[in-house]
Amino acid sequence: MMILKLKKTLTTCLTNKKYPDMKTKREPQINKVILWIALILVLTVSSCARPHNRQDNTHEPPEKFEPIPVERPNGFYALTRYSPASDYVDIELEAEPAITPKDIKEIRKTTSYFGTWPEIEIQLTEEGAKKFYLLTRANIGRPIAIVVENHIVAMPMVMAAIVQGRVSIAGGFPENEIDRIIEILKEEQ
């Protein structure tokens, strides 16, 4: 409903005011603007949603993800089998990683957006960013698996295709574990 009102307002502002019913060359641009605004609204709402109801304004780190043993090389994987209700018990990874440590341009420890807990920040190479875009585009609404030393260390849910090639991994890791993961991935760059 809100998007329809937005379209009408934008159309009125951007079309010829003398002939409001006349279609203009700007209509495809209006539709693009509306899609971008809708995407921003969806991402904002989904990023604000929390799996728990908190009464105060404090921000807690994400729950610690318990590593899952797998026989796979380090990298980012699409899942070939996954059931949201399975609690990570019935999952299966693709045979090869979509992103390998060689696709990483830079990796470092940083702090969360709120500045309260450590995270891993990865900048991918240009080729890695293209591969990551394809991986995330194909897996919207599904998790991807991040494997380090034969363990899935994180399974973030893909909310949208990621085009910039910048990845932040917040798995509730202690700092020493983040340092170890970074060291392992840097060795394979």
49: confidence class by pLDDT, cuts 50, 70, 90: very low
User: What pLDDT score does 51 carry?
Assistant: 38
Strand partners, 119: 110
Does pTM top 0.85 for this prediction? no
CATH number, domain 68-187: 3.30.1360.200
Q: Which helix (H) or strand (E) holds 42?
A: helix 27-48
Question: Domain limits of the chain?
Answer: 2-48, 68-187
Residue 46 CA: distances (Å) to CA of 29, 34, 54, 60, 148: 26, 18, 16, 17, 28
pLDDT in tens, 111-127: 877 777 889 999 999 99
Q: At CA 92, angle to CA 128 and CA 79, rounded to 5?
A: 35
Rounded to 5 degrees, what angle do the CA atoms 52, 53, 57 make? Answer: 110
